Structure 1
Amino acid sequence: MVQSLNTKIDLIVKATSFTAFTEYGQIMIGDKAFEFYHQHDPRKYIQIPWNEVDYVIASVLFNGKWIPRYSIQTKTNGTFTFASKEPKKVLKAIRIHVDGQKMVRSLGFFDVLKRAFFAKKNKK
């Protein structure tokens, strides 16, 4: 069994991890780390200490009324994407442990298109 990094738990919520395959389980947010534990297989887990978090990227739609998923970009291990039942509660709990400057919105569909077209014009 995996040993939790946290000594105090702030929030536990059902969630989905989007790694190579979709994994269902629980997110635990505590005083020392962000943790995801698989629903059935104890060998499948993700533990991200707060000092490893580089950015928290939220996909925000309809002016903040719906947050379908969010990602945690680490300094060394890449980006992990999650979705949960109550994403606003999760992001508020993360904000307690991560600086507000490191919590950003992801680009929207049209923003990506604008960057693609204007970047090509500026190169010419």
Structure 2
Amino acid sequence: MVKSSNTKVTLTLSATWFRGIATYGKVMVGDQAFEFYNERNLNDYVQIPWAEITCVVADVHFHGRYIPRFEIRTRKNGTFIFSTRDNKKTLRAIRNYVPSNNLRQALGLWQKLKRRLKS
């Protein structure tokens, strides 16, 4: 089993990690890192320290009533896309460890179209 890097766990929820194919497991938000682990395959996990995270981007629909997924961008390892049972609760727990100016809302459909037309 993989040793957790967290000493204190704030939140644990069922989650999906989107990386080509969906991987199901648990997300753990703690004092040292954001962790995803698969209960069936112990070698299928990711640990992202808070210092490694550059920003967290959330897809927001219906004026914040529905958040289907969020993306964690890191300095060296690229992006990770997750969805949990309660994404709002997860993002609120992440907000305690990531500065608020690094939490962002994804562009909407009209914003994307405007950018494409301008360029």
TM-score normalised by length of structure 1? 0.94
Given the alignment of the two structures, is residue 31 of structure 1 paired with residue 31 of structure 2, yes or no? yes
Using the alignment, how far apart are the partners of 2:61 and 2:111 within structure 1? 13
Q: Which residue matches 2:91?
A: 91
Q: Which residue matches 2:47?
A: 47
Identity %: 45
Give the paired residue count.
119
Q: Which residue matches 2:82?
A: 82
- Give 1:65's aligned amino acid: R
More helix by share: 1
* Structure 2 gaps, min length 5: none
Q: Which residue matches 1:110?
A: 110
* Structure 1 gaps, min length 5: 120-124
Higher gyration radius (CA): 1
Q: Which residue matches 2:60?
A: 60
> Per-residue CA shift, 1:68-89, capped at 9, x if unaligned?
0000000000000001110011
Using the alignment, how far apart are the partners of 1:21 and 1:8 within structure 2? 30
Using the alignment, how far apart are the partners of 1:110 and 1:5 within structure 2? 41
Q: Which residue matches 2:20?
A: 20
Mean Cα displacement is larger for which, 4-13 or 106-115?
A: 106-115
Given the alignment of the two structures, is residue 100 of structure 1 paired with residue 91 of structure 2, yes or no? no
Q: CA RMSD in A?
A: 0.6
Report the alpha carbon displacement of residue 38 of structure 1 after superposing the two structures with TM.
0.9
